Amino acid sequence: MGVTFKEDGRSTPPLARSGSRDGSWALVIILAIYGASWALVAPRANVPVIDDWVYAWSVEHLLQTRQLRVLEISAFYPITQILWGALFARALGFSFVVLRASTVVLSALGCWSLYLTLRELGCRVRTGLIGAVALAFHPLYFALSFSFMTEVPFIACSTMALYWYVRAIRRDSVWALWAGCGCAIAAYLIRPIGIVLPLAVLAAASRRSGAPPAVRRAVVPVAAATLVLIGGLQIVLPRVLAPLDWAAIRVSYLRWWFMVPITSYVRWTVEVAVIAAFPVAPLLLAYATRWRRAASTVIGALAIASVSWLLGYAVRPLPNWQTWSLQDIAARAMIAGALVPSPWSVRMMPIVMILGLLAVGALAAIAARHVVRRSGWRGGDAILLALAALHIACIHALWLYNDRYYLVLAPLVIIAAARAVDSDDRAQRYAAALLVVWAAVGITGTRDMLAFNGTAARAAEDLERTGVPPWDVDAGYALNGWRLYAHPEHLPPGANRRYDVPFVTSDRQPPYVISNSLLPGSDLLRILTVPQSSWQATSQIYVVRRHVLQLVR
């Protein structure tokens, strides 16, 4: 996905090699960005985020027992991530802060891999750095880098695989092909959709793909060997580590494929495109700084808007149900209590919707320009296109309709946008300026996410210090998961964590609740202020106690 054309239509000359010198300096710059971000985010709260307690438990269990296990509530076996996190925890001690640091390192390596990929594709040094920074400050990628969730480690490994695949084709290197497949296996051992990586490289197998002779001869046996190994792991892992509850649920989704109208899939495809494109808006909007490009961007945006209108659905780039919204990033939806939209978010929504349409319009214009000016997708482009198509197919097949699952498209969209502005210095200056705004969003959103969870954790600890048992406190999804599911010794006698954890596996309503608002039929015990909130919907957490009659019902 992407183009390599100047404004006059002539192809830009490919850069022969991405030298080790500029690659080393790029890594230093990326690490410096993450070092500064760590200081600004101040991620010292020893608390879980979203689902990362599931994988943190595996690290804790491995360190304590030297046995590798995965909680049954998990949807996959993130072996690579568990071992990586255990290396850090063994050296520095187990905590969510240490596990967070392990993800930040992988996040930086993922950005570096994207830089190297852009250089292999012939982009300038500055273009490669802008692409790497665009991924680093993708607000969702940035926030999840300060967690132990699987998204960022998976993207880091898959971007490494993509780099080696592109390098193999550019340099006719069979060993680089093997290196790419090794990274693909590491990605698969984080999330099973890593299987799309060796499938995508098969796009380089045909003569029309433009792959050099040695790689074209080797790609089928190498990819086939990788797929055979992945197939074997798919059979062995459930037998060695026990079946997983959520993996079975995901498989059960497959029976609904053909019971959904095609119009729903069309609508969801538009939604995926808009939500996936919006976080790359700094690059995509910068592309439209020339009049001709601006016109094609507006035409693309109007086409998307027309399809949405025909389907009777207005696509919002930041809907409230997803991880990054105008409410916050990955915090307030994780605890009880309704959230009223803030006046700021109500005013911003129309602007965000217009920017979202323009961003996806620019992406459509870039893709259309590539199709018009080239007869086909060749070499690395064939892999990029195949990978995008396979990821979108997985999103639909498994009904992964959440922005965390669209994050796999981010490196591909960034590559397309970065290559489109490679020869445009003015567009790159605009992109750099807009990335400063995105950096501010990511940093403030991540600070709030960790501070919010830390405040909720302190509220739960305060209740327990007064004698309230842990199972009588609903502290939200992440904290209940860590305190009660991952450590069932805190459940009441006879309880089963697979059915009896509030907010996680049970609808049971404990008497004490940590909430976004005062719940109906409850008494207010305390209000806590979240210290790092800024643009988020609320800055307070409520500690309430449900009435006895409410509990009886």
The DSSP 8-state label assigned to residue 100 in this structure reads H
Is 60 exceeded by the pLDDT of residue 375? Answer: no
Count Cα atoms within 13 angstroms, Cβ side, for 411: 29
Partners of 529 in beta bridges: 540
Contacts of 410 (CB under 8 A, 6+ apart): 135, 138, 141, 155, 276, 279, 280
Nearest to 30 by CA among 90, 84, 93, 111: 111
Taking only the tens place, the pLDDT of each residue in 242-283 is 888 877 777 777 777 778 888 888 888 999 999 999 999 999
Q: Is 10's pLDDT higher than 50?
A: no
- The pLDDT-based confidence of 340 (bands split at 50, 70, 90) is confident
Per-residue HEC secondary structure of 255-269 comes to HHHHHCCHHHHHHHH
Residue 548, pLDDT > 80, answer: no
Please give the average per-residue pLDDT across 384-405, as a whole number.
92
SS (H, E, C) 314-359: CCCCCCCCCCECCCCECCHHHCECCCCCCHHHHHHHHHHHHHHHHH
Most confident of 5-9, 288-292, 342-346: 288-292
Q: Which two tokens stand for residue 184?
A: 């693909």
Taking only Cα atoms into account, the Rg of the chain, rounded to an integer number of angstroms, comes to: 24
Query: How far is residue 280's CA from residue 527's CA, in Å, rounded to a whole number?
Result: 37
Backbone angles phi, psi at 337, to 5 degrees: 100, 135
Single pTM value for the model: 0.93
- CA gap 381, 122 in Å, rounded: 12
Q: What is the mean pLDDT of residues 62-66?
A: 96
pLDDT band at 21 (very low <50, low <70, confident <90, very high): low
List, as one string, the DSSP characters of 485-523. IS-GGGSPTT--TTT--BTTTB----SEEEESSPPTTEE
Q: Each residue of 73-86: pLDDT tens digit?
A: 998 999 999 999 99
Spell out the residues 6+ positions from residue 149 whose beta carbon is closer than 8 angstroms to its own: 49, 50, 51, 52, 55, 103, 404
pLDDT at site 391: 96
How far is the C-alpha of 363 from the C-alpha of 545, rounded, in Å?
50
**Spatial separation of the C-alpha atoms in residues 126 and 140, rounded to whole Å:** 23
* CA 437 to chain CA centroid, nearest Å: 19
Give the pLDDT confidence of 167-221 residue by residue, as tens digits. 999 898 999 999 999 999 999 999 999 999 999 998 877 666 667 788 888 999 9
Task: Answer yes or no: are the C-beta atoms of 159 and 117 closer than 8 Å.
Answer: yes
Question: Shortest CA distance to 475 belongs to which of 449, 501, 448?
Answer: 501
Q: Percent of the chain beyond pLDDT 90?
A: 75
Res 119 pLDDT > 90? yes
CA 520, CA 140: separation in Å to the nearest integer?
A: 33
